[in-house]
C-alpha cells in the first residue's frame, strides 16, 4: 500500500497529512494557539502535593497547573534533585548508584511545596485539565532516545530478531557516555555504528544546551527545552522505507527537511519533493475533501447510511443510522451490512480526528449473536493499524460498543472546529473565497432545480388548458351552444393557476439571474485570491532562497574561522538564547523594541518556522522589529527603544 506525508504551510498554520492508499488516514494541525508541547522540558514549581490522590500539581507557566501523578515519578528522583541543586548542572558530576533502577523513592519525602523541579510534558492540556508531566526525562532522535541520569540500555520491542537486538544493544552500550542511558528506536534496525553515533552526538549537544539554560535560569517556571514542531516530529518519528514520498509546499521547510533526511537517511533524500503547482497541495494530493470532512458531525456512508459523531464533556458518542440503505434486503441483512460498513468508517474517522479517551458507538440493533461478533471483529481489526493504544469491548445487548483510545492531545474537532462542526477559518482569503464559491454553486444548483420544476408545471398546465379549450370549442360548434358551466369554471381556474405559475417563474428566473451574478463574482474573487496567493508564495520562496543562501554564507564563514584558528566567538544559538532571555526578563518594561543585527544573523532569526521574533511575541507579547545593519558584528546585537531609538543593551 502506497504511503506518503503531505505538508501544507501557510502564514497562520501548518497541516500535516498521512496518506495511505490514496486516502487521508491522519491529519495534524499546528498554529500559534495550538502549538505542540509534548516533549518540552520545563523548570517548574511544585504548588501542591496531594498524597490522597497520589499526585502533585506543578506550575510550568501554562494556564492550568500541570498534573504529576506519583506513577510518573522516575526512580532517579533523588539524583534529579541533586542535579538541579548544582550551580552549573552537569549529568557527569551526579553519582548514580548501582541499584538506580531498583529505587522506589517516597514522593512525600522528595516533593515539597515551592520546590523547583525539571519535568517533561507527556500529554497536552485537554479541556480544563492541565498538561500531564513526568520526571522521567528523555530526548528523542531519529535512531535513539537519550535518557539523562540513567544507566538503561534498551532496544525497541518492535525489533523482534534476537541477533539484531543483541547487536544494537551492544553497539549503543559502547557509544553512550557515563551518566546517560539510551533506548534504540525501531528505525535503527540494520543501521551501522556511524549512524547511531551521529544521532547520539546531536542528542548530547541538545542536552548540553539544556544544562546551560538551567545554569542561567533565574526564575521559574520557565521553558528550558522546546521539542521540535509538529511537522519535524512526524517526519522524525514516522518517515521510513514504507513511505513513497514527502510532499511539501513551503520552500524553507522543504530545504530543512531535505537536509535532515540527507543527514540521517541519504538513500531516501530523493523522496522529499517540493510542490510548485498552481493547485493547493492538499487538492493536488486528492485529500482536501477528506480534510474538510474531518470537521463535520455527520459522515455519509457509501451505502446511503450515515454517522453522527458528537463530543460530550466525558466522551465521544457515535450514532449509526441506516438512512436510505437497504433496498432489496431484509431488515437483518441490511442492519448487518450497514453496521459492518460503519465499523470501517468509524475506525478511519477516529484515527483521522485523533479522538482519544472513551468512545461509545450506538450501532443498529442486531438480534443474532453471530452478527454482533462479526461487527465487533470488523471494528477491532480496523484499529490494528492505529499507532495509538486502543481497546474495543464486545457489543452489548443494546448494540453499544465501548472503545478506549490513547489520548495525548485534544482531538482535531475539539481544537479546530466551531460549534457548528465547520472547520475554523485560517484567515486565508483563498480558503474563504473557495468556500463562498462552493456555497454559490450549491445555491445555483438548488435554484436551477426549482426553476426546472416550475417550467415543467407551467408546460403541464398550459397543455391541460389547451386541451380543455379545444374540447369546449368542439362541443360548442357541435351544439351551437356555449360550453357548459363546469368546463368554463375549469378553464378559468387553470388560467388563474397559470398566471400564478408564470409569476413564480419570473421570480425564480430573477433569483437565478442574481445567483448567477453572485457565483460569477465569487469565481472572480476566488481567482484573484488564488493569484494573490501564488504571488505571495513566490515572494516567500524568494525570501526562503535568500535565507538559504545567507545561511550557507554563515556556515562557510564559520568553517573558515575554525580552519584559520580565528578567535572564538559565540555560536548563533547562544546569541538567540541571550536575546530570548532579555526579551523574557524585560517584557513588562518594553512591549516593542528594535533589534539591530548583521544581515547574516537576521536571516538566521527569520529562517525558523515560526521566526524567532514571532515566537517572542507569542510567548511574551513583545513586538521585536528586526533591522539588518552591516555595521553590526555577525554575532552581536543591539536592542533599542522602538519610539526613541535609545540603546537599551549591546552585546
pLDDT score for 420 = 42
Cell of 173: 552500550
Query: For the CA atoms of 489, 490, 492, 496, what is the dihedral angle to 10 degrees?
Result: 140
**Rounded distance between C-alpha atoms, residue 425 and residue 423, angstroms:** 6
pLDDT score for 499 = 82
Whether pLDDT at 643 is above 80: no
pLDDT score for 435 = 61
Q: Grid coordinates 539524583 are at which residue?
A: 79
pLDDT score for 34 = 67
Mean pLDDT, range 217-239, rounded to an integer: 82
Whether pLDDT at 483 is above 50: yes
Neighbouring-strand partners of residue 451:
none
pLDDT band of 14, cuts 50, 70, 90: confident
Mean pLDDT, range 268-275, rounded to an integer: 89
pLDDT score for 454 = 75
pLDDT band of 432, cuts 50, 70, 90: low
Mean pLDDT, range 436-452, rounded to an integer: 67
pLDDT score for 233 = 79
Mean pLDDT, range 442-468, rounded to an integer: 73
pLDDT score for 424 = 46
Which segment of 233-247, 449-463, 530-544 scores lowest on mean pLDDT?
A: 530-544
Whether pLDDT at 396 is above 80: yes
Instruction: Give the H or E element holding residue 123.
Output: strand 116-123
Mean pLDDT, range 187-198, rounded to an integer: 88
Whether pLDDT at 315 is above 60: yes
pLDDT band of 339, cuts 50, 70, 90: very high
Q: Which residue has the higher pLDDT, 569 or 577?
A: 577
Q: For the chain, what is the mean pLDDT?
A: 81
**Rounded distance between C-alpha atoms, residue 118 and residue 137, angstroms:** 8
pLDDT band of 569, cuts 50, 70, 90: very low
Mean pLDDT, range 23-39, rounded to an integer: 80
Q: Grid coordinates 547511531 are at which residue?
A: 196
Most confident of 158-172, 481-495, 576-590: 158-172
Whether pLDDT at 302 is above 60: yes
pLDDT score for 549 = 63
**Rounded distance between C-alpha atoms, residue 98 and residue 33, angstroms:** 45
**Cis amide linkage into residue 35, ω under 30° from 0:** no
Whether pLDDT at 294 is above 80: no
Whether pLDDT at 426 is above 60: no
Whether pLDDT at 403 is above 50: yes
Mean pLDDT, range 418-442, rounded to an integer: 54
Q: What percent of the chain has pLDDT over 90?
A: 23
Backbone angles phi, psi at 569, to 5 degrees: -125, 170
pLDDT band of 411, cuts 50, 70, 90: low
> What tens digit of pLDDT does each residue of 130-174 get?
899 999 999 988 889 999 999 899 999 888 899 999 999 999 999
Cell of 3: 504511503
> What tens digit of pLDDT does each residue of 611-625 get?
788 778 777 777 888
pLDDT score for 449 = 65
pLDDT band of 303, cuts 50, 70, 90: confident
Which segment of 26-40, 183-197, 388-402 scores lowest on mean pLDDT?
A: 26-40
Mean pLDDT, range 402-422, rounded to an integer: 64
State how far Cα 501 lies from the chain centre. Answer: 53
User: How long is the chain?
Assistant: 651
Which segment of 138-147, 374-383, 524-533, 600-609 scores lowest on mean pLDDT?
A: 524-533
> What tens digit of pLDDT does each residue of 527-564 get?
777 677 667 666 666 665 665 565 566 556 555 554 54
Could you give the 3-state DSSP secondary structure of residue 315? coil
Whether pLDDT at 429 is above 60: no
**Rounded distance between C-alpha atoms, residue 589 and residue 484, angstroms:** 98
pLDDT score for 165 = 92
Whether pLDDT at 352 is above 60: yes
Q: Which residue has the higher pLDDT, 232 or 439?
A: 232
In Å, what is the CA distance from 23 to each residue of 1, 183, 240, 290, 301?
Answer: 11, 33, 19, 8, 15
Q: Name the nearest CA neighbour of 80 among 53, 43, 50, 113.
A: 43
pLDDT score for 327 = 65
The packing angle between helices 193-216 and 572-585, to 10°, is: 30
Mean pLDDT, range 17-24, rounded to an integer: 87
pLDDT score for 427 = 43
Amino acid at each position: 500500500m502506497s504511503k506518503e506525508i503531505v505538508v501544507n504551510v501557510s502564514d497562520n498554520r501548518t497541516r500535516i497529512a498521512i496518506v495511505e492508499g490514496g486516502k487521508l488516514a491522519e491529519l495534524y494541525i499546528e498554529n500559534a494557539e495550538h502549538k505542540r508541547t509534548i516533549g518540552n522540558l520545563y523548570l517548574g514549581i511544585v504548588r501542591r502535593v496531594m498524597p490522597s490522590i497520589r499526585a502533585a500539581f506543578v506550575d510550568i507557566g501554562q494556564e492550568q497547573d500541570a498534573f504529576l501523578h506519583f506513577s510518573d515519578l522516575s526512580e532517579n528522583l533523588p539524583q534529579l534533585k541533586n542535579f538541579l541543586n548544582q550551580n552549573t548542572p552537569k549529568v557527569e558530576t551526579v553519582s548514580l548508584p548501582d541499584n538506580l533502577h531498583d529505587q522506589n523513592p517516597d514522593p512525600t519525602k522528595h516533593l515539597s511545596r515551592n520546590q523547583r523541579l525539571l519535568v517533561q510534558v507527556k500529554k497536552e492540556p485537554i479541556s480544563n485539565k492541565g498538561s500531564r508531566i513526568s520526571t522521567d526525562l528523555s530526548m528523542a532522535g531519529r535512531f535513539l532516545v537519550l535518557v539523562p541520569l540513567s544507566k538503561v540500555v534498551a532496544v525497541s520491542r518492535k525489533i523482534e530478531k534476537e541477533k539484531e537486538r543483541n547487536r544494537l544493544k551492544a553497539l549503543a552500550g559502547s557509544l553512550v557516555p557515563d551518566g546517560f542511558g539510551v533506548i534504540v528506536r525501531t528505525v535503527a534496525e540494520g543501521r551501522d555504528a556511524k549512524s547511531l553515533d551521529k544521532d547520539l552526538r546531536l542528542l548530547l549537544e541538545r542536552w548540553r544546551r539544556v544544562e546551560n539554560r538551567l545554569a542561567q535560569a533565574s526564575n521559574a517556571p520557565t521553558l528550558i527545552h522546546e521539542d521540535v514542531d509538529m511537522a519535524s516530529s512526524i517526519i522524525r518519528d514516522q518517515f521510513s522505507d514504507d513511505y513513497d514520498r514527502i510532499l511539501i509546499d513551503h520552500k524553507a521547510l522543504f530545504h530543512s527537511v531535505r537536509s535532515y533526511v540527507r543527514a540521517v537517511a541519504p538513500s531516501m533524500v530523493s523522496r522529499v519533493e517540493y510542490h510548485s503547482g498552481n493547485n493547493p497541495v492538499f487538492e493536488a494530493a486528492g485529500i482536501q475533501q477528506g480534510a474538510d470532512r474531518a470537521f463535520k458531525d455527520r459522515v455519509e456512508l457509501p451505502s446511503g447510511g450515515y454517522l453522527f459523531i458528537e463530543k460530550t464533556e466525558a466522551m465521544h458518542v457515535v450514532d449509526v443510522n441506516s438512512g436510505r440503505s437497504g433496498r432489496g434486503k431484509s431488515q437483518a441483512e441490511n442492519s448487518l451490512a450497514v453496521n459492518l460498513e460503519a465499523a470501517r468508517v468509524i475506525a478511519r474517522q477516529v484515527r483521522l480526528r485523533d479522538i482519544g479517551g472513551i468512545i461509545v458507538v450506538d450501532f443498529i440493533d442486531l438480534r443474532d449473536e453471530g452478527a454482533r461478533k462479526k461487527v465487533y471483529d470488523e471494528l477491532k481489526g480496523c484499529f490494528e493499524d492505529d499507532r495509538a493504544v486502543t481497546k474495543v469491548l464486545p457489543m452489548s445487548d443494546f448494540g453499544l460498543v465501548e472503545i478506549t483510545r490513547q489520548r495525548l492531545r485534544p482531538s482535531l474537532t475539539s481544537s479546530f472546529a466551531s460549534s457548528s462542526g465547520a472547520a475554523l477559518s485560517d484567515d486565508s482569503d483563498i480558503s474563504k473565497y473557495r468556500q463562498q464559491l462552493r456555497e454559490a454553486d450549491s445555491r445555483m444548483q438548488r435554484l436551477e432545480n426549482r426553476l426546472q420544476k416550475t417550467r415543467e408545471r407551467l408546460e403541464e398546465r398550459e397543455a391541460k388548458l389547451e386541451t380543455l379549450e379545444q374540447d369546449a370549442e368542439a362541443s360548442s360548434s357541435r351544439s351551437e351552444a356555449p360550453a357548459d358551466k363546469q368546463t368554463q369554471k375549469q378553464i378559468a381556474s387553470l388560467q388563474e393557476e397559470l398566471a400564478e405559475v408564470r409569476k413564480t417563474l419570473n421570480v425564480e428566473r430573477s433569483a437565478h439571474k442574481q445567483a448567477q451574478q453572485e457565483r460569477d463574482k465569487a469565481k472572480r474573487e476566488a481567482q484573484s485570491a488564488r493569484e494573490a496567493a501564488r504571488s505571495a508564495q513566490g515572494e516567500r520562496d524568494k525570501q526562503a532562497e535568500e535565507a538559504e543562501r545567507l545561511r550557507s554564507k554563515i556556515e562557510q564563514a564559520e568553517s573558515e574561522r575554525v580552519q584559520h584558528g580565528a578567535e572564538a566567538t559565540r555560536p548563533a544559538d547562544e546569541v538567540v538564547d541571550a536575546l530570548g532571555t532579555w526579551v523574557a526578563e524585560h517584557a513588562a518594561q518594553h512591549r516593542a523594541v528594535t533589534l539591530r543585527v548583521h544581515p547574516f544573523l537576521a536571516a538566521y532569526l527569520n529562517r525558523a518556522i515560526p521566526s524567532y521574533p514571532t515566537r517572542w511575541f507569542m510567548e511574551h507579547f513583545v513586538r521585536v522589529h528586526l533591522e539588518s545593519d552591516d555595521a553590526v558584528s555577525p554575532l552581536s546585537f543591539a536592542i533599542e527603544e522602538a519610539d526613541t531609538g535609545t540603546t537599551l543593551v549591546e552585546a
